[in-house]
Structure 1
Amino acid sequence: MQRGVFVGLVTLDLIYRVEHLPGTNQKLVASDYGVFAGGPATNAAVAFSYLNHQAMVMGGVGVHPVTHLIRADLQQYGVTMVDLTPKRTEPPPVSSVLVTEATGERAVVSINAVKTQVMADQIPAKCLQDVAIVLIDGHQMAVGEAIAQQAKAQLIPVVIDGGSWKPGFDRVLPYADYVICSANFRPPDCESDQAVIEYLKSLSIAHIAITHGEHPIQYWSNGQTGSIAVPPVKAVDTLGAGDIFHGAFCHAILQQEFVEALVEASRIAARSCQFFGTRQWMEERVRSEK
């Protein structure tokens, strides 16, 4: 069992499963719903913890009454919450998610961490003690930069979750060992996957991967390029699949080489898509093993 620190967005996710997205002035009755802690780093931490590690998520939550729902969910899945805004009274970021039954595709409305940015001086001392890996999702950029710098100095591998380009990523990326980004990740003046890879290579990043949903993962690793097929599944819900991929990658890279870790993460993320919400895939496995 090893320790991982996950830095970034912590939200409360309200998820509804619907037959179709609502039209203007239309009301829908959902066929299922769920309430979970969410955010890229948060879901990755939950997956990492589930895969028999110790996970600590670092972000801003505060003391608003609804934050107990976030804390309770994380506690249930063994994730330690380090709240960098412990006196904040405003509500935490809340995401509303509609998952279409037929396709598993999701529509998300969220404020993210725009109004809950935290300065690096709020980072607790010795937070990287005995830590084996760090993941940064870019939603808390000042904190992410400071943690990445500390991790680099202590020879702790740094994984970047590049869901989309965010201002300030250019200051964090030089400390990264692994960058795994989506097809939506576009640094300035990068209009193609190859341009993204060349940009990241220019920062001396040794291992790069770009995910494309159900399509093959493209990677570059120490001069070697290739693609990895994603396991075909009937998707029930794609929400959080990328986050789970990153948490599973953090688990796998501690034991395997880069390409093998991508394969393992892809397998776990694909499995998660077969269940509604971001937690049921874990609960179903637990029940099946009893």
Structure 2
Amino acid sequence: MSSASLPPSPEKCIVVGFGGTCLDYFAVVSTFPKPGDEIRCISTKVQGNGEAANALTCLARLGVRGRLMSKIADDIWGKSILEELTADGVDTSFLVVAKDGRTPFSYVMVNQSTRARTCIFTPGFRVMEPADISQMYLKSALEGARFVYFDATHTDTAIVVAQEAAGQNIPILLDAEKQRPGLDGLLHLSDYVVCSAKFSQAWTDAPSLPSALLSILLRSPKLKFAIVTMGERGCLMLERSSDAENSVMGEEDVNSLLHSLEQKKDDSVARPMCISSKVVKLKANGIGTLTGRLFTCTAERTPPSELVDTTGAGDAFIGAILYALCMNMTPEKMLPFAATVAASGCKGLGARTSLPFRTDPCLAPYFDGPAMT
């Protein structure tokens, strides 16, 4: 892609990410072993992991400055994680180093034929604690931040950071993958949330994903939008609107509205496709009503021969959402862009190997036309 076709890199946009870090040991095998079997690896890889670290790596490759708040061990693997993040352009100056710590790690086995994964996680120790964060450290880490992102680990410490960010009116994006102690407090401080399908229905007790999105926005009035990711089935998004945005407004059941939007999908299109409703009053029985827009977006149809590993796909998606927010992309462009970035990340082994750069040809369609400001 020529530099002339790229939008200006949002160099003044700083995204602060808070979360854990770890190390992955990958082994690709032809098929998962049965008990007692001995098999050979096809290939192996060692790479850093951690949701916030992955999302910030994605942002760095897209041209956004990412600043990581986390705690790493002072062992050889902690140094490896630090070097890898620094090489990718992530600001690691706010990492807290745990003396005599131990880096958490996972053994990840990838089935080459099915692309399925199985993981064995070994926790480390000396995690990020509120005592690690002085007021001076906190203010310095958040200085100049356009957004703050939380991956919902170490929630007691994350709440301290989130309260300061909210007090400074810095918008917060939360990754709600599963229910954790303290997550409710983080969610109510957040301006945006990206959550798994499992979390959204478990947290709300809603009977469907569209009604779960409606319930999340009603229960967390600060949220501007909520996104549910569904893997190869794409994603759903509900954006809050004000009643004044549409003087002539209908009222629609949120489940019926999603059904009508899905009828407009074109299965012959490989690239991600976003379909949106107008601003309407959305309702769901037993949940309530909300004025907003509903979006459904397909995932990229990646040929099986190109799909290698889905590790970190959700983190890549969130990194792309944060980039889109920095660039003021419309939801209609933001969701397909994030789906494309996530799909690109699945074409290599590990969470970061195939994360695209801004110059990657797969991103060219999103940079056509006038630059966004």
TM-score, normalised to structure 1, is 0.90
Among 33, 47, 53, the alignment partner of 1:42 is 53
1:83 aligns with 2:101: no
How much identity, in percent, do the aligned residues show? 24
Equivalent residue for 2:314? 242
Q: Deviations over 1:3-50 (max 9, x none)?
A: 111111200111121112222233332212211110111111110111
Distance of 1:286 and 1:277 partners within structure 2: 21
Distance of 2:190 and 2:360 partners within structure 1: 37
Among 253, 264, 279, the alignment partner of 2:325 is 253
Judged with a 3 Å threshold, the aligned counterparts in structure 2 of structure 1 residues 283 and 76 are, in CA distance, closer, same or farther, namely farther
For residue 158 of structure 1, what is the amino acid of its counterpart?
I
Equivalent residue for 1:18? 29
Q: Deviations over 1:54-77 (max 9, x none)?
A: 112222212123211111211221
Among 19, 29, 47, the alignment partner of 1:8 is 19
Paired residues of 1:249 and 1:261 also in contact (CA < 8 A) = yes
Paired residues of 1:13 and 1:96 also in contact (CA < 8 A) = yes
Equivalent residue for 1:227? 296
Distance apart, 1:118 and its partner CA: 2.5
SS at match of 1:61: strand
Paired residues of 1:98 and 1:106 also in contact (CA < 8 A) = yes
For residue 203 of structure 1, what is the amino acid of its counterpart?
S
Distance of 1:193 and 1:112 partners within structure 2: 32
How many positions carry a matched residue from both structures? 287
Distance of 1:162 and 1:91 partners within structure 2: 26
Equivalent residue for 1:53? 64
Distance apart, 1:284 and its partner CA: 9.1
Paired residues of 1:239 and 1:277 also in contact (CA < 8 A) = yes
Q: What stretches of structure 1 move > 6 A for 4+ residues in a row?
A: 283-289
Distance of 1:225 and 1:286 partners within structure 2: 31
Equivalent residue for 2:232? 214
Structure 1 residues 250-289: aligned runs within 5 Å = 250-255=322-327, 256-282=329-355
Distance of 2:350 and 2:309 partners within structure 1: 7
Q: Deviations over 1:91-126 (max 9, x none)?
A: 11111111121232222222457x544222322232
Among 104, 107, 117, the alignment partner of 2:118 is 107
Distance of 1:92 and 1:171 partners within structure 2: 28
Judged with a 3 Å threshold, the aligned counterparts in structure 2 of structure 1 residues 64 and 258 are, in CA distance, closer, same or farther, namely same
1:33 aligns with 2:44: yes
Q: Deviations over 1:163-196 (max 9, x none)?
A: 2121110011111111011123232645642453
Paired residues of 2:214 and 2:238 also in contact (CA < 8 A) = no
SS at match of 2:316: helix
Equivalent residue for 2:213? 197
Paired residues of 1:17 and 1:31 also in contact (CA < 8 A) = yes
Larger radius of gyration: 2
Distance of 1:34 and 1:225 partners within structure 2: 40
Segments of 5+ residues of structure 2 without an aligned counterpart are 1-10, 241-291, 363-373
Segments of 5+ residues of structure 1 without an aligned counterpart are none
Judged with a 3 Å threshold, the aligned counterparts in structure 2 of structure 1 residues 288 and 218 are, in CA distance, closer, same or farther, namely closer
Give the superposed CA RMSD: 2.3
Judged with a 3 Å threshold, the aligned counterparts in structure 2 of structure 1 residues 285 and 249 are, in CA distance, closer, same or farther, namely closer
Equivalent residue for 1:118? 128
SS at match of 2:203: coil
